């Protein structure tokens, strides 16, 4: 698994998912957004962490009585205990929110273990409780039924699809109010750097537009006057 510095991960905390999507788009990657998921509750800051995955398949009734959870090796429970602190648990629920992918107790356990976040392309139960926890969680919509109703956890930390996006173990997962973006581990460092630079320029553009300037020649930068203004503006910014 590609090594990624903590300083790189920290950079992702200061950039938005739209900026990341554009940086990936420049590299020919058009399909790295986990479609249709949003955070539960109010995010205090972006979710950032490397992907640890859990794969569900459709549940077969005879293999999914409640008693399966008596087995400490059950993949869902095992994943909750195995997902490394600082990682994001990403679940392939085949986009099916008719039964929950997880509930309040498992998410609380992940939080206590220092996991950085949790994502499903299905739904969570106990959504109000999860909304109040200190761990970012992203899903499609709340869903009361137990996962056993429709989802059978089958293996962990394999490549999966989630919300139509490919997710490989170790990819950088970033989530904010616009959803979740998957940054391939191999290009995480360069994407982080570029996104930081883009963010700075976008902040300048927001300032200028807020002062009444037209976007033409400014966004994107084509008028050299704006280049000059930007360099001056940067000097005025407080150090970060």
Instruction: Identify which range of 4-12, 20-28, 188-196, 224-232 contacts its own copies by CB under 8 A.
Output: 20-28
What percent helix, strand, coil does the chain show, rounded to 5?
40, 25, 40
Site string for its own copies, 130-169 (x = CB under 8 A): -----------xxxxxx-xx--x-xx--xxxx--xxxx--
* Cα-based angle 160, 165, 170 (whole degrees, multiple of 5): 55
Q: Does 2 bind its own copies (CB under 8 A)?
A: no
Q: Does 44 bind its own copies (CB under 8 A)?
A: no
CA 109 – CA 180 distance, rounded (Å): 22
Q: Which of 1, 5, 10, 81 binds its own copies (CB under 8 A)?
A: 81
Structure tokens at 24: 């990936």
Instruction: Identify which range of 1-9, 26-34, 83-91, 232-240 contacts its own copies by CB under 8 A.
Output: 26-34
CA 126 – CA 117 distance, rounded (Å): 16
Q: Does 181 bind its own copies (CB under 8 A)?
A: yes
Q: Does 1 bind its own copies (CB under 8 A)?
A: no
**Cβ-based nearer residue to its own copies, 6 or 113:** 113
Q: Which of 13, 222, 231, 234 binds its own copies (CB under 8 A)?
A: 222
E strand or H helix at 160, and its extent? strand 160-162
CB 91 within 8 A of CB 97: no
Q: Does 66 bind its own copies (CB under 8 A)?
A: yes
């Amino acid at each position: 698994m590609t090594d990624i510095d903590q300083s790189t991960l920290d950079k992702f905390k200061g950039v938005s998912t739209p900026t990341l999507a554009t940086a990936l788009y420049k590299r020919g990657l058009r399909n790295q957004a986990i479609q249709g998921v949003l955070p539960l509750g109010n995010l205090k800051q972006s979710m950032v962490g490397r992907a640890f995955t859990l794969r569900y398949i459709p549940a077969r009734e005879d293999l999914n009585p409640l008693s399966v959870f008596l087995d400490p090796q059950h993949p869902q429970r095992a994943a909750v205990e195995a997902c490394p602190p600082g990682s994001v648990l990403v679940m392939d629920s085949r986009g099916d929110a008719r039964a929950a992918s997880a509930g309040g107790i498992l998410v609380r356990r992940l939080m206590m273990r220092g996991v950085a976040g949790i994502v499903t392309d299905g739904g969570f139960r106990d959504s109000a409780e999860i909304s109040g926890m200190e761990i970012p969680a992203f899903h499609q919509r709340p869903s009361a039924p137990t996962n056993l109703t429709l989802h059978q956890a089958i293996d962990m930390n394999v490549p999966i699809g989630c919300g139509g996006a490919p997710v490989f173990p170790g990819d950088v997962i970033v989530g904010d109010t616009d959803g979740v973006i998957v940054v391939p581990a191999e290009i995480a460092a360069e994407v982080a750097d570029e996104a930081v630079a883009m963010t700075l320029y976008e902040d300048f553009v927001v300032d200028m537009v807020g002062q009444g300037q037209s976007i033409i020649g400014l966004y994107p930068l084509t008028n050299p006057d704006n280049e000059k203004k930007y360099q001056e503006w940067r000097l005025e910014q407080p150090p970060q």
